[in-house]
Amino acid sequence: MLIDGKQVDSMAGKAATITNPATGEAVAEVSMGERADAILALEAAARAFPGWSKADPRERGDLLRRGAETVRDGIEEIARLLTMEQGKPLRFARREVESSAEALDYYAGEGERISGEVVPVSRGSRSLIIRQPLGVAAIISPWNYPADLLAWKLAPALAAGCTVVAKPSSHTPLAATRFVMALAEAGLPSGVLNLIHGSGREVGRELVESPIPRKVSFTGETDTGKWIMERAARTLKRLSLELGGSSPAIVCEDAEIDEAAAACVQRAFSNMGQICISVNRIYVHNSIAEEFTTELVRRTEQLRIGDGLDPEVDLGPIFSEAQREKTEAHIADAQKKGARILFGGRRPEGEKFRRGFFFLPTVLDRMDHSMRMMREETFGPVAPMMSFDTDEEALKLANDSRYGLAAYVFTADMTRAFWFAERLEAGSVGINTTNVIVPKAPFGGWKESGIGRERSRAALREYMEEKHIRIGLRGD
């Protein structure tokens, strides 16, 4: 762990073994902290805050850029750790680490452009609006993108002038730890960036309940986010919560079928469906359902599955046995209620798959909203389909969810595209694309998919307070 500029073990001497989900083999041992360790980290961040918050934004930006270069220098090591602990293919792990470096570069620049406002002149006085850093920020990141999602939280926090205590997932701490160490090596002052491992019950609880942090940023399950919101309310902490999703994809009768099928396959199965904006529900117009389904299955059949360290594979294992069993339970529920499996739906056969948490990408049709897969977040490699007849029906089905993180529409008619985009209840809408996360656009959810925004300039303001300064003038 990293506390007050020093690499340390937990005070209790506890450790956890991290295993490779593709092989079941031990990868590393990681020190596991408790509440006492979290308190030390928070206190270190609090001591460092006055100096860091007053530092020249250009100085903070220079350190973040230097950190980005240090991360890029270690990209192969970090990516390999990421594949071994999380399972995703190595080429996608490299992309994730590069994205984490991009976050540092992006907010290095944005932090230098923090500005205020001058309120229009009033007789006898002037008003200024300035923005100042909140204080200590506690960051809790998930296991599915352990480097990337951590980076896009701590980069705006540091650029805004906040100090940070980061807790990566205790299931995938290796790449996140190496990323943080690389950033610290760039010359950050002691205590500005702290990293602690541990369980949510111990370390996570302290980060949320302690009066020291003024901000908690969390990505994870909706139920956990609700618990954090309840506990953080006791000290009125600022929150950013990026929670669960059940993203619909609407394929209209005038869509380019090949392109729509390719996009749905990519977003449904990438990272084995373990993405908050994965395509979870596909609604396809009746008139093209058969043709679209044929193309979707054809493309799914071509995906290669195996150990993420194999450069030839497209998909690695599911992250854990619990995630695999949840996927199987959702498929069984759908079948019992009338769904049909068109491809997959089972564990692959063969010796090379015996020890890992492998599962075939799965396509289903004849779905309806009584099935768990259409109501809950499976977080597994599934592409469930049902058909519709009218745009109004498709919209109603798409919005029939407690989640609202992302939605996708495929159509050649831009009038129809805007009709859907303006009515879909989601924080991001992709038209003829399933790639809705870009650095300069805000990202976050509606409904039970969360509150607050990440990425873009909007994320920077999530770590700042606004202050009004009114100045009385003589003789005006």
3-state secondary structure of 447: strand
Closest to 377 measured CA to CA, from 450, 264, 280, 445:
280
Q: Is 389 exposed, middle or buried (0-12, 13-18, 19+ CB in 10 A)?
A: exposed
**DSSP conformation class of 5:** T
Q: Within a 10 A sphere around the Cβ of 131, how many other Cβ atoms?
A: 18
Q: Output the six-digit token pair for 365.
A: 């049709």
Closest C-alpha among 276, 42, 66 to residue 185: 66
* Side chain identity at residue 192, one-letter code: V
Rounded to an integer, what distance in angstroms lies between the CA atom of residue 31 and that of residue 33?
6
The answer to whether 348 and 360 have CB atoms below 8 angstroms apart is: yes
Name 272's Cβ contacts closer than 8 Å, sequence gap at least 6: 87, 88, 315, 316, 317, 318, 319, 359, 380, 381
CB 434 within 8 A of CB 267: yes
Catalytic pick among 264, 276, 454, 462: 276
Is there a catalytic annotation at residue 242?
Answer: yes
Of residues 331, 330, 305, the one with CA closest to residue 318: 305
d(CA 170, CA 85): 11
Say if CB 104 and CB 147 are below 8 A apart. Answer: no
Active site residue: 242, 253, 295, 448, which one?
242
Decide if 264 is catalytic. no
Phi and psi of 458, rounded to 5°?
A: -60, -35
Nearest Cα neighbor of 106 from 429, 445, 454, 430 is: 454
Burial class (CB in 10 A: 0-12, 13-18, 19+), 329: middle
As annotated, the active-site residues are 242, 276
